[in-house]
Amino acid sequence: MPKPLTIPFNKPYISTKCNDYMLKAYRSGKHCGNYDWTNKSIQLIKEKYNTSEIFLVPSCTAALEMGAMLAGLKPGDEVILPSYTFSSTVTSIMLFGARPIFCDINPSTMNIDVNQIKPLITNKTKLLLPIDYAGVPCELDKIKEISNKYSIPVLVDSAQSFGSLDSNSKWCSSEADLIAFSFHETKNISCGEGGALVVNNKEWIERAYILQEKGTDRRNVLQGKLSKYHWVDYGSSYLLSDILASILCGQLEDEKTIMSSRANVTQLYSEILRKFENQVNVIDESQKDKYNHHAYYIVFESHQKRNYFISLLQQDFKVSAYVGYSPLHSSPMGLKLGYKPSDLPVTQDLANRIVRLPIYTELGQSNNQLEYLKYAIETTLLSVLK
Ligand SMILES: Cc1ncc(COP(=O)(O)O)c(C=O)c1O
């Protein structure tokens, strides 16, 4: 047996260059948002992904809220989204009085089942809100067909998929009207709390600057066009501090290292799980080269086996695995809205059987940790599946 270690579920990546960047940002005296480090980060993202307008915001939750405002959501509107997602996907639209219409998922990706969207559309539907679970892109081409046919905009909750690409090597969601990313501590690229909103719909860009800046035209002051800014619209405080943007900048510069280290972990899981392929399902690996290695999951045949796997792995090896999302429709708030667990049978069933394995950059850089993890996971799977 390899030397025992403790493997947490996640650890944020620490870039050494961030010490210097953070101090520089702090000493600059420009600590609020939309200054030099924000601009540098945005530039790095634009160079790499050739994206249109991008806003750095305090979280993916904030990006989703801004997106909901840009889509003009109001009380009584309906939004179609998966139930298998984080609470922020739904709270962001309910904040503006919209009603969530939960859609079941495709078992091969855990993303929204595109074949079930059309029957949910009514004349109140104002937004389609899919997510990219585990970093695996939703089927945006098919979602866009529906969006074009019914003239309903698409906001993709890409909290987990920064760096995942489409078949043209552009961002996987680049055809969506709006894309929301997360740079939370648990994500591949992180700055503690942070996020980004990409606005592809050109008609919304001007307003996005105002919503982000508490309903003011402060951008005109930053650009030297005005000496004083004014209150002109709705808005909130949707700015990432430049100190956090300096950390983000260091991480964006290291994106290649982060991705390739995480790829070592998914490669290891792929090799281990191949031996058990008749007994468990795993994350869809058909798009491996386009995927950002954010997460790796296993789906067991039963709830009991999944739970036994998690507890044995923790108890015998101090390796932390995680169950993933609790479906929203069967959460206390979903039940209050009138949903029943059986309304979305695929979501309910898979959520009971899925487990996410540890993955973080340092793990993929350490042969000792990888060797120990291999031993721990193989041994536990052999016990659980015997
Ligand atoms: C799908 C999804 N959306 C939104 C969020 C919230 O992200 P943030 O913490 O950056 O607001 C998460 C968090 O993990 C998520 O998984």
Does CATH number 3.30.365.10 belong to domain 17-253? no
Q: What is the pLDDT of residues 110-161, one digit of tens each?
A: 999 999 999 999 999 999 999 999 999 999 999 999 999 999 999 999 999 9
**CATH 3.90.1150.10 residue window(s) in the chain:** 255-385
By three-state DSSP, how is residue 157 classified? strand
Return the number of other C-beta atoms located less than 10 Å from residue 5's C-beta. 15
How is residue 205 written in tokens? 């860009």
Q: Give me the sign of the Cα torsion angle 91, 166, 190, 237.
A: negative
| Inter-residue contact 140 to 173 (CB < 8 Å) | yes
Which numbered atom of ligand 1 lies nearest the CA of 64? 4
Q: What is the pLDDT of residues 356-368, one digit of tens each?
A: 999 999 999 999 9
How confident is the model at residue 110, as a pLDDT? 96
Q: Which helix (H) or strand (E) holds 53?
A: strand 53-57
How is residue 290 written in tokens? 């386009």
Any idea which residue has 């990546």 for tokens? 13
DSSP 29: T
Q: With a 6 A CB cut-off, is 89 part of the ligand 1 pocket?
A: yes
Which numbered atom of ligand 1 lies nearest the CA of 133? 1
Report which of 114, 30, 53, 43 is spatially closest to residue 80, judged by C-alpha positions.
Answer: 114
CA 63 to centroid of ligand 1, rounded, Å: 10
Q: With a 6 A CB cut-off, is 184 part of the ligand 1 pocket?
A: yes
Any idea which residue has 């943007």 for tokens? 245
| Inter-residue contact 364 to 264 (CB < 8 Å) | yes
By three-state DSSP, how is residue 105 classified? strand
How confident is the model at residue 51, as a pLDDT? 80
pLDDT along the chain (386 residues), means of 10: 95 94 97 95 89 94 98 98 98 98 97 98 98 95 97 98 83 89 98 97 96 96 93 97 98 96 97 95 84 96 98 98 97 98 98 98 98 98 96
Report which of 205, 163, 157 is spatially closest to residue 179, judged by C-alpha positions.
Answer: 157
Report which of 15, 31, 19 is spatially closest to residue 245, judged by C-alpha positions.
Answer: 31
Q: What is the pLDDT of residues 217-232, one digit of tens each?
A: 999 999 999 999 999 9
Burial class (CB in 10 A: 0-12, 13-18, 19+), 186: middle
Q: With a 6 A CB cut-off, is 84 part of the ligand 1 pocket?
A: no
How confident is the model at residue 197, as a pLDDT? 97
From 60, 160, 191, give the residue whose CB has the most ligand 1 atoms within 8 Å, as the site to mutate.
60
Which numbered atom of ligand 1 lies nearest the CA of 187? 14
CA 131 to centroid of ligand 1, rounded, Å: 10
How confident is the model at residue 72, as a pLDDT? 98
Residue 44: partners with Cβ closer than 8 Å, 6 or more residues away: 249, 252, 253
From 66, 86, 179, give the residue whose CB has the most ligand 1 atoms within 8 Å, as the site to mutate.
86
CATH topology of domain 255-385: Aspartate Aminotransferase, domain 1 (3.90.1150)
Q: With a 6 A CB cut-off, is 92 part of the ligand 1 pocket?
A: no
Q: In the β-sheet with 281-282, what is the strand arrangement from edge to edge?
A: 281-282, 297-299, 354-356
**CATH 3.40.640.10 residue window(s) in the chain:** 17-253
How confident is the model at residue 156, as a pLDDT? 97
CA 337 to centroid of ligand 1, rounded, Å: 22
How confident is the model at residue 50, as a pLDDT? 77
Return the number of other C-beta atoms located less than 10 Å from residue 151's C-beta. 6
